[in-house]
Each structure stands twice: as structure tokens, then as C-alpha cells.
Amino acid sequence: MRFATWNVNSIRTRVDRVIAFLERCDVDVLAMQEIKCKPEQFPTEAFTAAGYHVAVHGLNQWNGVAVASRLPILHIDTHFAGQPAFGDPAQVEARALGVTLGHKEGTDFTIWSLYVPNGRSLDHPHYAYKLAWLAALKAEAARWLSADSQARIALVGDWNVAPFDEDVWDISAFEGSTHVSEAERRAFFAFAEDGWEEVTRERVTNYTYWDYQKLRFVKNEGMRIDFVYASPALAAAVSEVEIDRNERKGKGASDHVPVIVTVDE
């Protein structure tokens, strides 16, 4: 089985590229972030024609998450327990989508498409919201493992955290900024304390995001902020990881690229 995560930065703008990627890379399950549409606006027909079931969670033109799967969808959660709200009025944003899929051998697989809040700046309420969001996710994820140590679960997506200095092109350019602060990194690494394994780090190196501005991609001034935390049972079955840097090239590219994980059956 091959699953992937990709911040597509507007699915309606990039649906043709996404479908072409799925077919070219033979991906069974794709978790998408920043779809930027409501469910009724999602280009479901294109995915159906390509042989995929879809689950979509979007509230407006911002944020939004989705999962496309060749495997049957058994259950959908549009948020995790304790997920914080933000805004005025406060709203639980469309930033998390949990989809349980039927495996051909009968073993369920759950993938969470996650779009972690950006944080904006260290003194902004969005930063406190980001830390609270990650803490709530960690607490709920720990409960999932406690309930079933053999569960096959993937927490994937745009984490909006660069865990190591090497995950940005120039750490000095991020002094006093979000994504690299000690508190954000601590919140990211905390998942490992409960048994989750970030399965991409040791298998592949590359950035996963390049801003559209200042020729960042041409200069390879990127960031590594898209990751896959796997439950112990799932992590043990991971055999390969790829970062498809070529998806940042050409007309109509997202500013992120897909991260692809191969799991042995």
C-alpha cells in the first residue's frame, strides 16, 4: 500500500495535477490539506472517475482537509476530541479529518489529514492556538494508542513546524519567527514520547515547501514541514518514503510537494 500527504493549496485549482500524480505514482490513499473549498465544491467526480472514494471537510474558502482512497471508507471524523476553536466567534476549523479505511486483508487503517495552525507570529493569539492544538492532538493520539497498541494509524500533513535547524534554508532568517521556536519543536517531538514514530526523517532528505516569493524554489530556499507520524504497528511496516520534489515544478504547482510512504502488506 502506498499513501501520501500533500498540501495542495486549492484543490479546484490543481485537481488535474493531483489526479495525474495519483495515477503516475500509484498512490492508494492521499491526504490533502488546504483544499480551500466546501464539500459541495470539491471536484469529487474527477476522483471518482480515477477510482477513488473521497472524504472532505471544509467550511469555507480557507483551510480544509480531504482524503482520497482506493480502499472503502468505513468511518469519518471531522475533528479530534478536544480540538481547540479559534476566531470571533470561536470555531473549530476544518484542520483535521480522520478516515478509517477497509484493508483488503481485513485490517483497518486510519489516516488523519492534518493542517496544523500556522501561528503567524510569536506574540499572536494564533501562536497560542497552535500550541494548544498540538497539545490536544497529542493527548487524543495517546488515547488511541492506549486503547489499541496494534492500531494502524498515520498522523500526516502540513505540521507547520521545522523540527531541526536543517529543515530551513537559513536558520538565521527565522530568528524570532514561528515554525522554529523551542515551544513548537517541543510540541512536535512530544508525540514520540507516546510511541509515535516520524517515519520520513531517516529515509529521505529534502524540503517539502518553497514559498512562491523571491524565487525560493529556484534558489532551493525551502522548508521541511510536512511529516508522517505513524503508530508503532504501522511504523514497523513502512519500507520506503519519497518526497516528490518535481511536483513543485511547472505551471500551477502548489507551494508544497507530496510525501509518499510505502507500507509492506
Each residue's pLDDT tens digit, 1-49:
999 999 999 999 999 999 999 999 999 999 999 999 999 999 999 999 9
- pLDDT for 107 equals 63
Q: Is the pLDDT of residue 105 over 70?
A: no
Tell me what the pLDDT averaged over the chain comes to. Answer: 97
The full length of the chain comes to 265
> The C-alpha cell of 83 is what?
480540538
Model confidence at 265, pLDDT cuts 50, 70, 90, reads confident
CATH architecture type of domain 2-263 = 4-Layer Sandwich (3.60)
- pLDDT for 103 equals 65
- Percent of the chain at pLDDT > 70 equals 98
Confirm if 58 and 35 have CB atoms less than 8 A apart. yes
- pLDDT for 151 equals 96
> The C-alpha cell of 39 is what?
464539500
Q: Is the pLDDT of residue 50 over 60?
A: yes
> The C-alpha cell of 194 is what?
507516546
Model confidence at 111, pLDDT cuts 50, 70, 90, reads very high
What are the two backbone dihedrals, phi and then psi, of residue 246, each rounded to the nearest 5 degrees?
-65, -20
In terms of DSSP bridges, do strands 2-7 and 259-263 run parallel, antiparallel, or are they unpaired? antiparallel
180-208 pLDDT, tens digit each: 999 999 999 999 999 999 999 999 999 99
The CA distance from 148 to 100, in Å, is 14
The CA distance from 215 to 217, in Å, is 6
Q: Is the pLDDT of residue 64 over 90?
A: yes
